[in-house]
Structure formats: structure tokens, C-alpha cells
Amino acid sequence: SAVISQKPSRDICQRGTSLTIQCQVDSQVTMMFWYRQQPGQSLTLIATANQGSEATYESGFVIDKFPISRPNLTFSTLTVSNMSPEDSSIYLCSVGAVDQPQHFGDGTRLSIL
Amino acid sequence: EDQVTQSPEALRLQEGESSSLNCSYTVSGLRGLFWYRQDPGKGPEFLFTLYSAGEEKEKERLKATLTKKESFLHITAPKPEDSATYLCAVQARASGGYQKVTFGTGTKLQVIP
């Protein structure tokens, strides 16, 4: 299965700032996904990022708050904009294909002061 | 809307004490049911995919089974290294493209020596 690297692994940020999370895959993949995992809650899909097209956002998530880039088949970024304490969470990148299970990176642990 | 409910939320076992984790699901046509293991500070690690009722998959001390309404993850003679959160997820069939995966909140397993 693909090896997925996320950077940074953790960060502490000030309210009102933005942070960009990077996701690098060791092989070309069509579909990349961004999730949020809050304590005691299930993984929530933020958006699907396909190369060559705009990201598809789930209900409750908007591009202005979570802009995503997908410049090629091995890389994607998620930006958390104008952060507030409610954005404190673990953000996970995953890759998948139509008949394959998703595989995940180790996540970015984000705390907002 | 697809739903996944896992029980119990937490389970504490003595080493060698076998038990089962439950995943109840509601989905409009199941494409696949997935089990993942998640260690603290790590992303979910894929364990199994089950596609149809009656199917079983095994890996070391773990065995996953599937019915039309639920899946069980049986843990036989667990060891402390089996301690982790186990996540269940479902994916519905789609007429085309990729259908998103819905995750449960997980069962946190602790195996005591």
C-alpha cells in the first residue's frame, strides 16, 4: 500500500492565523481525501481532492475556510484559515481508489490558542 | 444517510480473554465494510474489507465477520499489543464514481497483562 507522509505532525497556532498541511504520497494516486478527527468522534470527511479538478467539499465545510490544492498525483495541501479554538483537531490525509480501501497518513495534531 | 454504530465504546480485557467488537450499520446497498486499527498518535491502519454477508477474514488473532446488518471483530486470546482503537467504516454502492466512506466512532480496546 502507499506510504503517506503528512507535515507538520503537530502545531500550536494563534487564533486568526492560517496553517497549511502537506500530504505527500510515494506513488501516484487518483483520489486523495482530507478528514477531521475530533476527540471521541468519528472521522469526518472534509473534502475529496482529485488532480486536475476542483476539490469537492462535504456539507458543513467551505473552500474559503479549508482551501485545498492538488497540483499533481502525489501531493496535496489543506489550509485551515482564520483559525479559532473550534478548529483544534487532528487532520488526516488519505488515498483511495474505487475498489480499494483508503490508507491514511499519521495526521496533523492542531491546537489553537 | 449511511450510519455506523460501534459498541462498546471501550473494552478492557485481560490478556488471553477473548471477546468481540460490534459494528452495526445502515447503508443503501453495501459496497464494502472496512475495519481499521488506530494507535495513539497514528493514522488508521487498514485491517480488513468485507463485501457480502457471510464473508469472513482473518489476520493473526483477529477475525472479522459480516451479516446484513452488522459486523463483528473477534479477538482471540488478545495480547497487550492488540490495545488500540478499532474503527469500522462502510461504503455504499454508487451508480458511478466514488461513494464516500462513513466511519464509526470506534471501540477503544485495552488488553491488560
Domain ranges of chain B: 3-102
- Cα torsion A9, A15, A17, A20 to 10°: value is 20
Question: Pairing relation of β-strands B107-112 and B10-14?
Answer: parallel
Identify whether A73 is part of a domain: yes
Which domain CATH number covers A72?
2.60.40.10
Asked if the Cβ–Cβ distance from B34 to A101 is below 8 Å, we say yes
Is the N-terminal amide bond of B113 cis, ω within 30° of 0? no
Identify whether A27 is part of a domain: no
Identify whether A50 is part of a domain: yes
Least Cα separation, residue B19 to chain A (angstroms): 22
Which residue does chain A place closest to B95, by CA atoms? A98
* Nearest by Cα to B72 from B15, B17, B19: B19
Number of domains in chain A: 1
On average, the pLDDT of chain A sits at 94
Cα distance between residue B27 and residue B90, in whole Å? 8
Structural domain boundaries enclosing A49: 33-96
Specify the DSSP class assigned to residue B100: P
**pLDDT level of residue B97 (50, 70, 90 thresholds):** low
Identify whether A24 is part of a domain: no
Identify whether A62 is part of a domain: yes
pLDDT digits 0-9 by tens, A62-106: 999 999 999 999 999 999 999 999 999 999 999 988 778 999 999
Identify whether A84 is part of a domain: yes
Identify whether A108 is part of a domain: no
Choose among A45, A96, A104: nearest Cβ to B44: A104
Q: Does domain B3-102 have CATH number 1.10.645.10?
A: no
State yes or no: pLDDT of A5 exceeds 70.
Answer: yes
Identify whether A102 is part of a domain: no
